[in-house]
Amino acid sequence: MQITQTKDVELYTTLVEPLLLKKEACNNLSLGILQRFIDRKHNLEVENLYLGLVTENGRVIYSFLQTAPHNLILADIDGIDPNIIKRVAEFVYNQVSDLPGVLGPIEYTKEFVAHCSCEAQIQMNQLIYQLDQINPVEYPGGELVKASRDDKQLIAKWLVLFGKEATEVITHIQANQLAERFIENQSVYLWKVANTPVSMVNQSRRTRNGTTINGVFTPNEYKRNGYATAAVAKLSEKLLNEGYDFCSLYTDSSNPTANNIYQKIGFKVVGKSTVYHFNDL
């Protein structure tokens, strides 16, 4: 067994994509990040990429990656020997000095943390959902509208609040950068009632056959009216009609409201993930 790392995105994607596509929705984060680099969007810097793979007898059997300064992502591959994760943890520990955390399948992240010689705490337990077909949904009044540049400040404000709800700090600078990117990509939508924005949803990463939804947020004054359900359902329907085979998304497993919304629309749990934060590495 050999563990190596590279910054050659095209070569790496060619090597690992067939493996990741076996559980495409569960690996939407890794696949989506690689696709962004291949598409050369968002002014992403290859220098920030850490692309790792595990081979055995010339065959790729596992992969992991990081876009600094974000968490390391462990691939969701069935039937992996725990010793592989142990070896990956030791490899990363000797290579990366400022890793903030790790995310991936529950058993793999647990094994990684046990062997990376660092203090870690669980930041979030997540569910990964996949939607192939929309359930019948009772829509409230309003309509889904693609956000314009005039909506940038509102979207940035909502992203800061979204981060607070998700216990993931999004600074005002980061929120403005995200809002700018969302609008530039024409990926963010607002549910509007009488021309008043009441909820937000964003189309994020795309993979070979699917796409990911994120940034779902409704301000407190508009909650419990079905606006988020409507926004996600309408955007999902639009994306499926455009030719995507499925939509995927992450949720906090401890958030019953969000999970109820997605299950009502037709999203089904296909994987579970844990995010660990490292106190020191």
Residues 253 and 196 in one domain: yes
- pTM score: 0.92
Please indicate, yes or no, if residue 170 is contained in any of the structural domains.
Answer: yes
pLDDT at 17: 96
Residue 100's domain spans which residues? 2-126+275-280
pLDDT at 42: 47
Chain centroid to CA 155: 19
Residue 240 sits in a domain of what CATH number? Answer: 3.40.630.30
Please indicate, yes or no, if residue 270 is contained in any of the structural domains.
Answer: no
The residue ranking higher by pLDDT, 38 or 259, is 259
pLDDT band at 165 (very low <50, low <70, confident <90, very high): confident
Does residue 240 have a pLDDT over 80?
Answer: yes
Residue 72 sits in a domain of what CATH number? Answer: 3.40.630
Region 210-239: mean pLDDT is 96
Residues 210 and 140 in one domain: yes
Residues 223 and 153 in one domain: yes
pLDDT at 7: 85
Please give the tally of structural domains in the chain: 2
